[in-house]
């Protein structure tokens, strides 16, 4: 089994790339954003964790994500401590996900994690792929999601520069030109990886 980690700026197209790995080489994808959303929605321990840090963000046992975003945008020591606890939970879920798939006939696992390198999730990857888009396209994608300029700038500050990501990655995929171009890059990377490991999976 080969573990691929995706790193890239917010709005660079990591989820799109992950979906193509799933579609064309049957990779199983660990979607960290989806995991966190499910924790907020359904995990009583995480809901209580949120409540212990940010009481106004939980109403009748439901996490108010808009209210919680207010604390994220403050990004103070309290948020950093909360985020550290949440990351520990996500890390364990990711480890269990990898272990579970290692027991199956799974060739590729893709980790779609927003702060893959920054939070050291890349340490369990066999290869890291840098997903890159130009800054104008990134902003356009995020405006469509309803993200504020302040939120975009904060997240950008928390992330590594493109140069650092490229330096720490094995491959780069450029998005934004056409879907066919992205697909061709995915297939080329799979070919290169299979050649390196001799398909001994």
Whether 116 contacts 128, CB under 8 Å: yes
The answer on whether 61 is annotated among ligand-binding residues is no
The answer on whether 9 is annotated among ligand-binding residues is no
Residue linked to tokens 């066999």 = 126
The answer on whether 156 is annotated among ligand-binding residues is no
Q: Which residues pair with 48 in a beta bridge?
A: none
Query: What are the phi and psi torsion angles at 169 (to 5°)?
Result: -110, 160
Looking at residue 159, what DSSP letter applies?
S
**Region for 36 from its dihedrals, namely left if φ exceeds 0, alpha if ψ lies in -120 to 50, beta otherwise:** alpha
The answer on whether 16 is annotated among ligand-binding residues is yes
Pairing of strands 58-59, 62-63: antiparallel
The answer on whether 84 is annotated among ligand-binding residues is no
Lookup: tokens for 136: 């104008």
CA distance 138 to 27: 25
The answer on whether 111 is annotated among ligand-binding residues is no
Where is the binding site, in residues? 11-16
Where is the binding site for ATP, in residues? 11-16
């Amino acid at each position: 089994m080969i573990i691929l980690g995706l790193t890239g700026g917010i709005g660079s197209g990591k989820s799109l790339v992950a979906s193509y790995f799933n579609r064309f080489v049957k990779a199983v994808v660990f979607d960290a954003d989806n995991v966190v959303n499910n924790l907020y929605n359904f995990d009583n321990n995480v809901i209580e964790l949120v409540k212990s840090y940010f009481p106004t963000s939980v109403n009748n046992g439901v996490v108010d994500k808009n209210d919680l975003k207010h604390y994220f945008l403050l990004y103070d020591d309290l948020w950093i401590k909360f985020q550290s606890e949440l990351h520990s939970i996500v890390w364990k879920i990711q480890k269990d996900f990898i272990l579970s798939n290692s027991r199956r006939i799974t060739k590729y696992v893709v980790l779609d994690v927003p702060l893959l390198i920054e939070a050291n999730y890349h340490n369990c990857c066999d290869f890291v792929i840098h997903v890159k888009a130009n800054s104008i396209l990134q902003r356009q994608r995020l405006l469509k999601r309803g993200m504020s300029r302040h939120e975009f700038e904060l997240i950008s500050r928390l992330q590594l520069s493109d140069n650092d990501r490229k330096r720490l990655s094995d491959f780069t995929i450029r998005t934004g030109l056409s879907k066919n171009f992205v697909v061709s890059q995915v297939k080329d990377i799979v070919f290169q990886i299979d050649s390196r490991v001799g398909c001994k999976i």
